[in-house]
Amino acid sequence: MNCLRCNALLEKEAGFCRNCGYPVTKGSPTPSQNETPTVAIRREAPVPQPQYIQHTQPVAQQNQQPPVAPLSYASQDVAAKPGSMQSVGPQPGSAPRRRRRWPWPLKVLTILLIVAILLVGGWFLAARPILRSVAENQFNQVVSSNVDLILPVPVITTLAITETAMNNLIALNHAPSDPVQNAVVHISPPLIASDGSYTGGVQFDFQIYGFSCSLTTIPVVSNGQIVVTHVQVQGIISWILSADDMTALLNAQLQNAVARMHRQVLALTLKPQEIDIQLGSTVL
């Protein structure tokens, strides 16, 4: 008897084929020699072969790629609508975005800076020109009233003007309603340092509406006229009239004073509490 699967010769009373292991069914008919034995072939399911994935990029290059962060609600909306001008608002469930507020010290400093700019601009553009015009008028009125008292000087060579005489002349022409109060003149020889600073000269101390001010200068002679140099202005008056402004005002009034003397000035000397003016013999 042969095996039905591999047609191998089976031993008597064998339970399995020694060749293929196929079980032998007892009582099955023995195939004849003319008949071709039917071989039952069991087809087994194909074993899946492992598939190898070929990398198109080196592993090192893949590891260098930065991880892609998940898109937020706002980024997803923008990516869904490229080129859209519609603003993306907060999505439901997201925390509201707080506006950044300035700390209060910075707000106070900003307000103070704006106020300072407005005050400085208003002072130089509006207030200072008005006060300057008023101060120049008041100064010219006070000095002109004293210059008008000068009479033509007789034929003398030296005119001595003492500090006391100048203070008495100011007091005689002073009114309680004048803005300038407590005016006092001090005369001393000037001492000029190498850096241009000096002490002495003619110093005029006064008060304007209770504020102390001073005007210091050194008078010299130029072209037969008395002119002032090294003018210094201190106090609240310096906010309104600069040193150049006071130089122009004083020189204009001194020119009028020399014209009223009808004499040419040749030299001027400052002594302690006295000014000596040397006059020419020519009567103007």
Q: Which two tokens stand for residue 201?
A: 């000269």
> Is the pLDDT score of 214 beyond 80?
yes
Per the prediction, the chain carries an average pLDDT of 76
Q: Is the pLDDT of residue 213 over 50?
A: yes
Residue 220 has pLDDT above 90, yes or no: yes
Question: In this structure, are 155 and 32 located in the same domain?
Answer: no
Is residue 92 included in any domain, yes or no?
A: no
CA–CA separation, 158 and 168 (whole Å): 21
**What pLDDT does 65 receive?**
56
pLDDT value of position 69: 54
- Mean pLDDT of the 104-132 span: 80
Give dist(CA 214, CA 182) in Å, integer: 11
- In this model, does residue 107 exceed pLDDT 90? no
For residue range 132-161, what is the model confidence (pLDDT) as tens digits? 887 788 777 777 777 777 777 777 788 899
Do 32 and 158 share a domain, yes or no? no
Quick check: is 115 in a domain?
Answer: no
Query: Quick one: pLDDT at residue 33?
Result: 46
In a domain, 252, yes or no: yes
Question: Which three-class secondary structure state does DSSP give residue 280?
Answer: strand
Q: Domain of 10?
A: 1-38
CA distance 262 to 278: 13
Task: Give CA–CA dist 201/216, Å, rounded.
Answer: 7
Residue 240 in any domain: the answer is: yes
- Write the pLDDT tens digit of every residue in 27-71: 555 444 444 455 445 555 555 555 555 545 554 444 555 555 555
pLDDT of residue 219: 94
Tell me, yes or no, whether 184 lies in a domain.
yes
Q: Residue 212 — very low, low, confident or very high, per pLDDT cuts 50/70/90? A: very high
One-letter amino acid identity for 187? I
Residue 9 has pLDDT above 50, yes or no: yes
Q: Mean pLDDT across the stretch 237-258?
A: 90
pLDDT of residue 74: 46
Whether 237 is covered by a domain: the verdict is yes
**Top-confidence residue, 69 or 230:** 230
Q: Does residue 9 form part of some domain?
A: yes
With CA atoms as reference, report the closest residue to 265 among 283, 247, 253.
Answer: 283
Lowest mean pLDDT among 85-99, 133-147, 170-184: 85-99
- Residue 279, pLDDT above cutoff 60: yes
Average pLDDT over residues 196-208: 89
Report the interhelical angle of 243-261 vs 128-147 (nearest 10°).
Answer: 20
Residues of the chain above pLDDT 90, percent: 21
Is 106 within a domain?
A: no
Task: Tally the domains of the chain.
Answer: 2
Q: Residue 93: its pLDDT value, please?
A: 57
